[in-house]
Each structure stands twice: as structure tokens, then as C-alpha cells.
Structure 1
Amino acid sequence: MQNREIIYLSKGLPKKMVHKNEAYESGIWKEQCEELYVGFDEITGDQVANPEYHGGSERVVCVYPFEHYAHWESVFGKTLTPSAFGENLTPIGMKEDQVCIGDVFQIGEAVLQVSQGRYPCSTINKRNNNNLLLKRIIQTGYTGYFFRVLEEGKITAESQIKKLSSHPEQISVSSIHHLYFHDPSPSIEVIDKILGVEELAGQWQQYLIDLKEKIQS
């Protein structure tokens, strides 16, 4: 059985920051905490600055695998702080190639379902003062992903992670990332298979529908 455990929990409200003399506001600057109360639409005490591109019921819990920290620290020779990628949950044993869209997990009291991969933005560069990080994240597929909430509840730093069900289609977060960023002409069969996963977040479904129409036109 896959060993899964929580390394960090983090939350935070949007902050006004300055990077290279330019002001910006973002919710990426989260602080490590001992517990999260996870609701259907948001985590208590955790908000986003730009709701058009972040947050919402399909993106309540942001996950970033802890294994990637060692990779980035090795690549860039710099120690990263907790929640360096603006995530709420930093687990071990739950990388993008180990979880699939529609998989359901119980973490503490909360029941969560993998809804989509993460489309990272340049704020990650600002958060870590590293202009190469976003490009490398996209190259590697070390993006992280999101949970929607099926049952609300509290998650503590000591909560166990239990996998309740695996989606039968087994479409991993990594495979969707590869299609999105690295496959300019995927087959209609591949797109249709992913679209068959009803649990995929609506925004990502629409991207695939548009891509399919473009290929067929």
C-alpha cells in the first residue's frame, strides 16, 4: 500500500507584496498551520486574490507533492520554505503520476476528490525569487493539483490520508499535463477518453472540447 502522509498544512489571506519594484497582490504567501477547516467553496482563513483564475469549488485544496521540494532544491541550490508553491497541503506519496482525476481521499474529517491539475502562473517565480521556476515546472509536470470537497471537515497535521476509491479510467494528473503543455496534436480518442471522466473540472473539460473542435475543423 502506498505510504501517504502530510508534511505541511498551510493557509493565508492575500497579501500586497513587491517584486522588482512592482507591487502585486496574491494569496500565494501562505503560512504553515496545524489544521485546516475545509469547506465546499473555500478553506477557512484561506482566500485568493484573483478569483477568475484561482479558487472556487473545483479548486478548494491546492496540493503540491513534497518530493518535488528536494528536486528543486537540488536544481537551484536553494532551500525552499514551507508552502513555497502556495499550496494548502504538502503530502508525500501523492505525486502527479500517482493520483488520477476522480480519485477520492479521506484526509482527517474531509472527503476530497482530485478535480484538475494546476495551471501555474508567474507568481510562483515571484514567491521564490526565481525567474526560471515556472518554465521548469511546466517542463517537468511538477505542477501540483487540486481537490474539490465532497464532505467538509477538519484536517490536522497528524491526520491520516486514506484512499477511498480509484477512478476506473485511471487518467493521471501527469497525463493531462502532458496533453495540455506538450502534445500539440493529441488524438481524438485520447481527448474523448479524458472527456469521459465526468469528475474533471469544467474549465479543463471546456479546454478539451475546444481543442477537439480545433483538430476536427
Structure 2
Amino acid sequence: MIELVNFATGLPKKMKYGQDKEMDTGICKESVNEAFLTKEGFIGDGVADLKHHGGPDRAVCVYPYEHYKLWEQEFQTTLPTATFGENLTVTHMLEQDVHIGDIYQLGDAVIQITQGRVPCSTITKRTNLTPLLKRIVETGFTGYLCRVLQEGTVQTNSSITLLEPHPQQVSILFANQIYFHRQKDIEGIKKVLAVQELAEEWRKQLAGRLERLIDR
């Protein structure tokens, strides 16, 4: 049973970090009871860095709740809710079990998995845990992003149900391995690119990488 542990949204705002530094970021989201999900994302939600975040292929950010315990034990700390700027903190939707193109019912809305989340230094600035970013990439425990196939209202007690598993079964964990670690794996890149539902940004990057490898 998938459980929605936390549902969060938030518009970009100032975040203090380090020695009296600050930045505009949408990572500091707050728990909400209800929000309407559009093709561009939740009403009342937003990102500061439009180049690397947001847009129709990255409208919803999901992070597995199980990883919180792992990181808290490893770094001997307590993490705040929605630490990674995710909208949905969920159980039983690990990167190894979720596939690009999988379709889920989320409350009244319908979402589709599109790519792994590419973590950035904002996570380090928020948590003040310098090694965490490296560990997220090493493990592939990045969370992932979704597009919206059907708009609708989502509530904190909404259920999440797998409607259509994608037939090609390319997991987020596998795609993360190819994207971050196996950058010269031609067959692996082809396998990810074969999924038509892959986010356009990842498609462009992986297709470019493949072209350079073949041209050598």
C-alpha cells in the first residue's frame, strides 16, 4: 500500500545558509491539506531556477519516505519534512520499483513518471550536510519527477494507485545509473531513450551523449 506521508507546496522565497548568505529557492515547501494540480504543477507551488526545475515534464516532485531514515541514521540528524523540496513524500515507491512511463492516480489527478530528480547544491545549503549530495547521487536515491496527464485536486489524505505500469520496465534507479555513473554505456542509454515517455530534457542530454559516443 502506497502511503502519502507528507504533501507540500511552496513558492520561492529567501533561504539563509552558511555564513549569513541567502538565496531565492523553492526548496522550503510547507505541508498543505489540499491543492489543485495543473499541467504546470500545483497551484501555490513554484521553483526559482526555471532552467533546471519545473515545466510540464517536471510538474511534480516525489521522494521516497524510506530514505529519510537512512540519511538520518547515516548523518546522525533529524531532517525536516519535504527536505528535498518534494511535493509528495511517499512509502513503497522506491526508485528501483518505479519506472519511467508508469501512470498513477493521485487524488483526482493522474500523473506519469518522467525522469529521476537531478539533485543540486541547494540540498547541501538547506541541510548543511556537505556529503549528502554525493551520497544521493552514489545511491541513486534521488527521488523523481512527473508530468500531469489529468488535472485535479489532491489532498493530504489522497490515495496513490498505480494505474498502468509501463511495459518496458525501465526503473528510475536504472536510469539514474546510466545518467550519473554509466555515461559511456551505449546499450544502457539506448534502453532509456527507447521509453517514449522519458522527459524531453533527459532525452536531449542522453541523445547527445549517445551521438558523441557513436561518432568516436
TM-score (norm 2): 0.96
* Contact map agreement 1:5 1:161 (CA 8 A) in 2: yes
1:172 aligned onto 2:171: yes
What's 1:47 paired with?
46
Aligned to 1:168, the other structure's residue is in SS state coil
- Percent identity over the alignment is 45
What's 1:14 paired with?
12
* Contact map agreement 2:104 2:162 (CA 8 A) in 1: yes
Aligned to 2:188, the other structure's residue is in SS state helix
Aligned to 1:7, the other structure's residue is in SS state strand
Counterpart-to-counterpart distance in 2, 1:110 and 1:66: 21
What's 1:186 paired with?
185
Query: Could you list the runs of 4 or more consecutive aligned residues of structure 1 that deviate by over 3 angstroms after TM superposition?
Result: none
Identify the match of residue 205 of structure 2 among 198, 204, 207: 207
Opposite residue 213 of structure 1, the aligned amino acid is E
Structure 2 residues without counterparts, runs of 5 or longer:
none
* Contact map agreement 1:9 1:36 (CA 8 A) in 2: no
Opposite residue 182 of structure 2, the aligned amino acid is D
The CA deviation at 1:5 is 1.0
Aligned residues: 214
Summarize deviations over 1:129-179 as a string: whole Å, max 9, x none: 211111111011110001100000111111111111011100000001001
Summarize deviations over 1:49-85 as a string: whole Å, max 9, x none: 1111110111111000000000000100101111011
- Structure 1 vs Structure 2 CA RMSD: 1.0
The CA deviation at 1:207 is 1.2
What's 1:29 paired with?
28
What's 1:74 paired with?
73
TM-score (norm 1): 0.96
The CA deviation at 1:34 is 1.3
Counterpart-to-counterpart distance in 1, 2:183 and 2:98: 24
Opposite residue 56 of structure 1, the aligned amino acid is G
* Contact map agreement 1:110 1:149 (CA 8 A) in 2: yes
Summarize deviations over 1:80-103 as a string: whole Å, max 9, x none: 111011100001000111100000
What's 2:2 paired with?
4
* Contact map agreement 2:10 2:28 (CA 8 A) in 1: yes
Opposite residue 200 of structure 2, the aligned amino acid is G
* Contact map agreement 2:178 2:188 (CA 8 A) in 1: no
Opposite residue 214 of structure 1, the aligned amino acid is R
Counterpart-to-counterpart distance in 1, 2:117 and 2:179: 11
